Amino acid sequence: MRRTRNFIFLKDVAGLACTAFGGPQAHLAMMLRLLVAKRRYLTAAELLELQALCALLPGPTSTQTITAIGLRLGGPNLAYLTLIIWCLPAVLIMTVAGLLLSHVDGGRTAQVVQFVQPVAVGFVAFSAYRIAE
- Residue 25: per-residue pLDDT: 85
The torsion defined by the Cα of 62, 67, 70 and 74, in degrees rounded to 10, comes to -170
- Residue 114: per-residue pLDDT: 84
- Residue 129: per-residue pLDDT: 82
Helices (runs of H) and strands (runs of E) counted in the chain = 6, 0
| Mean per-residue pLDDT of the chain | 90
40 conformational bin, left if phi > 0, alpha if psi -120 to 50, beta if neither: left
36 in Cβ contact with 44 (< 8 Å): yes
Residues of the chain with confidence (pLDDT) below 70: 1
Query: pTM for the complete prediction?
Result: 0.80
Provide the 8-state DSSP code for 114. T
